[in-house]
Amino acid sequence: MMETIWFMLVAVMIAVYVVLDGFDLGAGIVQLLIARTDSERRQVLRTIGPVWDGNEVWLLAGGGTLYFAFPALYASSFSGFYLPLMMVLWLLILRGISIEFRNHIDSVVWKPFWDVVFGGASALLAIFFGAALGNVVRGVPVDDANEFFLPLWTNFGTGREVGILDWYTVLIAVAAFATLMVHGALWVSLKTEDELEQRARKVALAGWWSLLPLTVAITWCSFAIQPRLSQSFAARPWGYVFPLLAVSGLIGMRAMHRRDLAPFLCSSLFIVGMLTSAAFGLFPYVLPSNLDPRLGLTVYNAAAAPYGLKVGLVWFIPGMLLTTCYFVYTYRSFAGKVSLEEER
């Protein structure tokens, strides 16, 4: 029971991370496409400037929570995905310094350089996170000591000798990139005005048309590659609510695309629906093995001892309530469209 509660809490934290930092990453990608002058770039960056760091904390706090609730999963997956994780760290470093450092020096070589670094790092992060999700769904060669190590790629097939990148995980990565690009474009259109807003809307609409076939493709391939998914949905049909969320989000994005907040919320719903569908489909597995269906990490064999999990709830719930207050307060303080006049 405790294991399941913590599984849900960690899943929620990861989903919140992807929704919140997802729009930062998306804004970074979109900035390269729609902002033509320095002032336009600054406007895009200002939509995320006060919040990106707080959004990224969800990754850290989610990682910390994963560490404490499922130490075996944390240990196994972080060491098994060693190389791509290190690259994610480098990309997070580049992204963080590029947005923080760009405005300190006013020069025509300094700012555009960091804008490209920011956009590139954001795009690669979206792709890496997608590939990571693909790996979890496909399964990794977890042995009977619950350990593994994956190279970056082998033969790009999904057999036993897999790498991080194969055709399936690359497909998920492309879908993640498109999802976050649309998500970011919708955020930017929500927070900016005039021409910039119109261009962001165009990117979002074009992105949506790529999202539609990608969603169909990744759904079909995921069910083909990971038999657990169809087993889970067959065993517990109430779980269809999760894919339903994703579908309604996807439809809502298009149906309400002229509105301000609604399409962004629909895009968030789409992301949450896709992630929870995957989590529900794999449960109780958190890292299946592609070698043998009996191996792999589950919420039960990866969880910490019961006492720690119980104590954790006592501080976690008030802590997250506080956090929710901070976020509501921060987002309300920076509510509305950004303008360039109120630079500090």
Partner 1 sequence: MDALTIHRLHFAFTVTFHYIFPQLTMGLALLLVVLKTMALRTGDEHYNRAARFWARIFAINFAMGVVTGIPMEFQFGTNWSRFSKSAGGVIGQTLAMEGVFSFFLESSFLGLFLFGEKKLGPKRHWVAGFLVFLGAWLSGFFIVATDAWMQHPVGYALGPHGDIMLSSFWALMLNPWLFWQYLHNMIGAVVTGAFVMAAVGAFYLLVKRHEQYGRTFVRVGVIAGMASTVLMLFPTGDQQGKNIAFYQPVTLAAMEGLFATEQGAPLALIGQPDVDKRRLDNPIEVPRALSFLTYQRWKAEIKGLDAFPPDRWPDNIPLLYFSYHIMVGLGTIFVAVMLLSAIELWRGRLFAQRKLLWLLMLSVPFPYIANTAGWITAEVGRQPWLIYGLMRTPAGVSPHVSAGNALFTLIGFMGMYTVLAMLFLLLVQHEIEHGPEPA
209 or 300: CB nearest partner 1: 300
Q: Which of the residues 311 through 340 are near partner 1 (CB under 8 A)?
A: 311-312, 315-316, 319-320, 322-323, 326-327, 329-330, 333-334
Cis (ω within 30 of 0) for the bond into 284? yes
- The burial class, CB within 10 Å (0-12 / 13-18 / 19+), for 332 is exposed
Whether the Cβ atoms of residue 173 and residue 131 lie closer than 8 Å to each other: yes
- Contact region for partner 1 (CB under 8 A) — 78-86, 241-249, 271-279, 287-295? 78-86
Check binding of 57 to partner 1 (CB under 8 A): yes
CB 337, min distance to partner 1, A = 15
The residue within the footprint of partner 1, chosen from 8, 49, 210, 217 (CB under 8 A), is 49
For residue 252, which of 338, 313, 244, 312 has the smallest C-alpha distance? 244
288 phi, psi to nearest 5 deg: -70, 155
Give the interface size with partner 1 as a residue count (CB under 8 A): 64
Check binding of 177 to partner 1 (CB under 8 A): no
**x/- letters, 273..312, toward partner 1 (CB under 8 A):** -------------------------------xx-xx--xx
**Rounded Cα gap, residues 25 and 119, in angstroms:** 8
CB 297, min distance to partner 1, A = 11
**Rounded Cα gap, residues 188 and 186, in angstroms:** 5
Identify how many contiguous H helices and E strands the chain contains and give both numbers: 13, 2
**Rounded Cα gap, residues 72 and 301, in angstroms:** 8
**Rounded Cα gap, residues 117 and 91, in angstroms:** 9
**Rounded Cα gap, residues 231 and 242, in angstroms:** 15
The residue within the footprint of partner 1, chosen from 4, 36, 39, 50 (CB under 8 A), is 50
Check binding of 149 to partner 1 (CB under 8 A): yes
Check binding of 100 to partner 1 (CB under 8 A): yes
Binding site for partner 1 (CB under 8 A): 49-51, 53-54, 56-57, 59-65, 67-72, 74-80, 82-83, 85-86, 89-90, 92-93, 96-97, 100-101, 104-105, 147-149, 304-305, 307-308, 311-312, 315-316, 319-320, 322-323, 326-327, 329-330, 333-334, 342, 344
